[in-house]
Amino acid sequence: MADIVERYDIPQQHFWLHGPRSGQPVEFDAATGMWNVYGYPELQEMLGDPATFSSDAMRVIPKNMMPDGEELSMKGFITQIDPPEHGKLRKLVSSAFTRKVVADLEPRIAALTHELLDAAAERGRFELVTDLAYPLPVIVIAELLGVPSSDRALFKQWADALFERDSKISLTEPSEDREAEVRAAMKPWMEMSGYLAAHAAERRTRPRADLLTKLVEAEVDGERLPDDQVVNFAIVLLLAGHITTTMLLGNTVLCLDAFPEQQDRVRADRSTVPAVIEESLRFFTPFSALARSTTREATLGGVTIPADQLVMAWLGPANRDPRQFPDPGVFNPDRDPNPHLAFGRGIHFCLGAPLARLEGRVALNILLDRLDPLRTNPDEPVEFLPTPTMTGVRRLQLLW
């Protein structure tokens, strides 16, 4: 593990990549006022108990840390709601965002990957994130939703404003700074809401063959999604639909660069591409932490957590828990089964997992076809995202 950290200069924020953790699987951090859960069995228990570990983490953020007077509806942010509302919303959106909708995208994903690689070939330089890993999933999700993919500079601006923060979440920081920070974070939400609300309103009057129209028309048990919920779900898709998959593509290429013997193996037997993708998700878990709040006192791994606490579920460290994964620092696609937690667990299990896996499989196959070997350029340093909860590269120059 130390080799990889040194070779790619992985920042300290991604502490769990730096070696085996010392300490307990469940710990309180007095500096931030939050609890951290790092262990695999403890996380399985936590994510399987939404009645105790609520996804509405905002409910325990002190009110003085929220900006006054913001009119932002959180309804329909599927990742933040609990049963029974969550089940209803999940059923509605699943009826529009089906496996078939995703499977039908395969030829388009392949064509786009080739187009993007052709453009890089013309330039004679290939920076994986800018040239492929970012635009590919954004164009796919934009086309699927039915918003112009040419607006993607705007999506990137919003996504960067929301996610590329190197500050750590803390409940103990002075509230003045915190309020300004939260207010700044709200701005891109408001802009995204306005943008998607205009598109959703248009679909109500002029339906099209796109996912936004399907969401507007989706009906379960005679109920439809109200406008603000359509918009908020579209925001989740637009954000979740690209940032994470961008990280997955970059991380997978990095794994095959770091472990060339595994690159030779997957070249020799392409049926192992899906296993490489799964092991990449375990090894460099893109969304390395999720937030929950306790609705009542809970005991996890023998530790008692009081009610109304903010608890971080650390998927990345759990995916390297030696109690579950022998030799966790070794990239080994032969792990079978590979029950990693990169897509979460339980009722909030990632709805986009089939799309992310499809994009990963198609793009990796084409990269292997067109670049042999698939290698980082040793003269250009790999750059990681600075955000502690997001593990991925933001710059990775490949040998062309």
Decide if residue 245 touches ligand HEM (CB under 6 A).
yes
Decide if residue 40 touches ligand HEM (CB under 6 A).
no
Could you say which of 343, 361, 367, 393 contacts ligand HEM (CB under 6 A)? 343
Could you say which of 342, 368, 390, 393 contacts ligand HEM (CB under 6 A)? 342
Among the listed residues 316, 319, 340, 330, the one whose alpha carbon sits nearest the alpha carbon of residue 258? 330
**Taking CB under 6 A as the criterion, which residues in 186-215 touch ligand HEM?**
none
Name the residue number minimizing CB distance to ligand HEM. Answer: 352
Give buried/exposed letters for 327-358 (b at 16+ CB in 10 A, else e): ebbebbbebeebebbbbbbeebebbbebbbbb
Tell me the one-letter amino acid at 38: Y
Could you say which of 126, 287, 325, 331 contacts ligand HEM (CB under 6 A)? 287
SS3 call for 34:
strand
- CB-based contacts of 37: which residues, under 8 Å, 6+ apart? 25, 26, 43, 46, 300, 301, 311, 312, 313, 314, 318
* Choice between 148 and 373, CB closer to ligand HEM: 148
Decide if residue 141 touches ligand HEM (CB under 6 A).
yes
Decide if residue 348 touches ligand HEM (CB under 6 A).
yes
| 1 vs 6: CA distance, rounded Å | 9
Which of 19-27, 328-336, 348-356, 376-384 is the region at the interface with ligand HEM (rule: CB under 6 A)?
348-356
Centroid of chain to Cα 112:
21
Decide if residue 356 touches ligand HEM (CB under 6 A).
yes
SS3 call for 127:
strand
* Choice between 266 and 341, CB closer to ligand HEM: 341
Decide if residue 350 touches ligand HEM (CB under 6 A).
yes
| 209 vs 185: CA distance, rounded Å | 33
Decide if residue 382 touches ligand HEM (CB under 6 A).
no
Q: How far is the CB of 250 from ligand HEM (least distance, A)?
A: 11
Q: DSSP character for 211?
A: H
Number of residues that bind ligand HEM (CB under 6 A): 24
* Choice between 125 and 328, CB closer to ligand HEM: 328
Site string for ligand HEM, 48-67 (x = CB under 6 A): -------x------------
Among the listed residues 340, 369, 373, the one whose alpha carbon sits nearest the alpha carbon of residue 356? 340
Among the listed residues 344, 365, 356, the one whose alpha carbon sits nearest the alpha carbon of residue 287? 344
In the complex, the residues that contact ligand HEM under the rule CB under 6 A are 55, 78-79, 90, 141, 236-237, 240-241, 244-245, 248, 286-287, 290, 342-344, 348, 350-352, 355-356
